[in-house]
Amino acid sequence: MGAARGIVTAVSRSARHTFSKPAQLVIRLVAGLGVEGDAHLGETVKHRSRVARDPTQPNLRQVHLLHAELHEELRAGGFNVAPGDLGENVTTRGLDLLGLAAGTCLRLGDTAVVEVTGLRNPCVQIDRFRPGLMAAVLGRDAAGNLVRKAGIMAVVRTSGEVRPGDAIAVTLPPPPHRALVPV
Domain containing 95 equals: 5-171
176 occurs within a structural domain: no
**Band of residue 3 on the pLDDT scale cut at 50, 70, 90:** low
**Band of residue 122 on the pLDDT scale cut at 50, 70, 90:** confident
- The 34-35 sheet, strands edge to edge: 34-35, 27-30, 160-162
Q: Can you name the residues that pair with 95 across neighbouring β-strands?
A: none
On whether the CB atoms of residues 132 and 74 are closer than 8 A, the answer is no
180 occurs within a structural domain: no
What confidence tens digit (pLDDT) does each residue in 88-120 have? 999 999 999 999 999 999 999 999 999 999 999
177 occurs within a structural domain: no
140 occurs within a structural domain: yes
* Domain tally, the chain: 1
Q: What CATH number does the domain containing 144 carry?
A: 2.40.33.20
181 occurs within a structural domain: no
67 occurs within a structural domain: yes
| Count of beta carbons in the 10 Å neighbourhood of residue 182 | 12
Q: What is residue 44's DSSP assignment?
A: B
On whether the CB atoms of residues 14 and 38 are closer than 8 A, the answer is yes
pTM tops 0.85, yes or no: yes
